Structure 1
Amino acid sequence: MKAVQIRAYGGQAEAVDIDDPAVGPREVLVRVSGVALNPLDLKIASGSVQGFFPVQFPYTLGTDVSGTIAEVGAEVAGWSVEDRVVARLDPTQGGAAAEFTTVPADQLAKAPASVSLPLSAGIVTAAGTAWQALTEVASLRTGQTVLVHGGAGGVGSFAVQFARDIGARVIATASGAGVDIALKLGAHEVVDYKVADFTESISGVDVVLDTVGGENEARSLEALRPGGLLVALPVPPDVERAVARGLRAEFVFHTSAAGRLAAVVRKIDDGAHILLDRMLPLTATPDAMNHLRDGKAAGKVILVADKIV
């Protein structure tokens, strides 16, 4: 089968022929339909996170996958051939960017019925992270106010929708066309961060979801009410700085969880929107990664496996 691999950290991704994967007794073989790229894929490929996610080479790229089950392991119950599924693969193993991949059966969720199968790969990490941050870490409640940085981005676009559905007041930051996107997704208020300083107009919020990090983290503390919570995504926050100001700070380390993914699938089928930047054939993985690295993606970048050549 074809797969897109790297042979060293910083190496060029290339399509190669490899053996079909063997299916373990508690696994299923998935015929890949879509692969969603994430910033983590870039970090793994560069080697910048090898302390957390060491990999062995050659390494088949990709963690977020959608497809149909082609084979079921001997000890697997509840899944059948031709079931449409989504899953997140172990980042240290990768394997999504291929014609076929194996997935532990306990990591599977049914794919959304309301969107195309390739597009459904776009919910796995981005929507899953937003759901984990808001419902598991922040325990966001009806009537609270949340500030979502990057409200038109991969995680932020889902966070805006999920927070609105929870019943929170949603303020987002975005820029350019992203302002209208965040408003259409449900934000009550959007601050164009290239035009205005959000700290001058926003204060007293219960939760800040920081998808940016760096200086943005420190400035976000100014927007919180006493006892408010900063939820950080890019890197662990400075907890001591937050506590010194009477605030809280938590880090979201996204993990695979079939139950969480199933909850996200229900939100998509209930009408949540997947913001798509572009779909490309699997063999265009290097171009897709460069596009993501340049920060030009306005939504999810999806690789479509049935267009592999």
Structure 2
Amino acid sequence: MKAIVIEAYGSSDQLVEKEVPTPTINEDQVLIELNATSINPIDWKLREGYLQEKLPFEFPIILGWDAAGTIKEIGKNVSNFQIGDKVYARPETTANGTYAEFVAVDEDLLAKMPENLTFEEAAAVPLVGLTAWQCLVDFSNVKADDKVLIHAGSGGVGSFAIQIAKSFGAHVASTASAKNEEFLKELGVDEFINYQEENFEDLLTDYDIVVDTMGGEILEKSFNVLRQGGKLVSIAQPPDEELAKSKGVTAGFLWLEPNGKQLAELGNLIKKEQVSVNVGHTFPFSEEGLRQAHKLSETHHAKGKIVIKIK
């Protein structure tokens, strides 16, 4: 099969096309013929070598951990899916990712695609959607009338987090640049904060939950907007435990755990149109297409998800 791989850590020039063996599946897996995948920061962070201690893969590495496509083969223990099903998934983080024509995925990580999504839209959901879900539902136990601050609301995780929080009946504030104000208000944001001109910590108080996607100074200042007993979850870096204790809040770092059941729950919100998917950019499945997509992701200024059309 055709795949885009890296054979050394480095710049986007390391992304090269190669013929590699089609994956063989075990008895609990399915083989998906991919129609689309998407780009996430983990892709280029791993490519640059930043994650080699956490993910010590051997080369060649196929990056990519979002899958949308059709089941071509099923293992003998697979009972909830059939050949021909349209599915999406956030596969396990292995060296055999989704910049490829086929990928093997464990049955418990799969969900059927919402019928109202294209393959490109479906590929934009799993990693960022599950990350937002686990931040808000698993870690923070979001509920109606909670006051929730979501940083960088126009990004992949932020845009899903806004909509998930609103689906639970929360009041949502979010930071972004002025050009994204209309987009965030369409997603349901109650209080928009232009981070280029306003300091969120001066405007917000007694919040129940903060979802941090930025780290650094933003993460540290986020403690100041929380009420006693509030929750702060970061996907950028582990929060300061001593600071959390002194402020009387629960703080933690979230590393996504792939989960098919949660992806199905997210799919139900998409079917009900409580959550929409915003594909901002689409690139072809080629060396140049992937290189351009990585460069755009690295700017941190892509609006909506960056998708690779494979088929």
1:184-211 CA-to-partner distances (Å, cap 9, x unmatched) read: 1001110000011111111111111111
Say if 2:121 and 2:278, in contact at 8 Å, map to a contact too: no
TM-score by length of 1: 0.96
Alignment of 1:232-271 (within 5 A): 232-271=234-273
User: Structure 1 unaligned runs (5+)?
Assistant: none
Q: Which residue number in structure 2 is paired with residue 294 of structure 1?
A: 299
Kindly provide the amino acid, as one letter, of the partner of residue 272 in structure 2: D
Say if 2:108 and 2:261, in contact at 8 Å, map to a contact too: no
Shift of 1:77: 1.7
| 164, 167, 172: which one aligns with 1:165 | 167
Q: Which residue number in structure 2 is paired with residue 285 of structure 1?
A: 290
SS of structure 1 residue aligned to 2:153: coil
Shift of 1:37: 1.0
Number of equivalenced pairs: 306
TM-score by length of 2: 0.95
Q: Which residue number in structure 1 is paired with residue 6 of structure 2?
A: 6
Kindly provide the amino acid, as one letter, of the partner of residue 239 in structure 1: E
Q: Which residue number in structure 1 is paired with residue 106 of structure 2?
A: 104
Rounded to whole Å, the distance in 1 between the matches of 2:134 and 2:153 is 16
| 51, 54, 57: which one aligns with 2:53 | 51
1:223-282 CA-to-partner distances (Å, cap 9, x unmatched) read: 111221111111111111111122221211111111111111111111111122111111
Say if 1:28 and 1:103, in contact at 8 Å, map to a contact too: yes
User: Structure 2 unaligned runs (5+)?
Assistant: none
1:202 pairs with 2:207: no
Say if 1:63 and 1:94, in contact at 8 Å, map to a contact too: no
Say if 2:96 and 2:103, in contact at 8 Å, map to a contact too: no
Rounded to whole Å, the distance in 1 between the matches of 2:229 and 2:108 is 38
**Runs (4+) of structure 1 moved beyond 4 Å?**
none
CA-atom RMSD in angstroms: 1.2
Q: Which residue number in structure 2 is paired with residue 218 of structure 1?
A: 220
| 262, 274, 277: which one aligns with 2:277 | 274
Shift of 1:217: 0.9
1:148-168 CA-to-partner distances (Å, cap 9, x unmatched) read: 111111101011111111011
1:96-128 CA-to-partner distances (Å, cap 9, x unmatched) read: 111111111221111111110122011101111
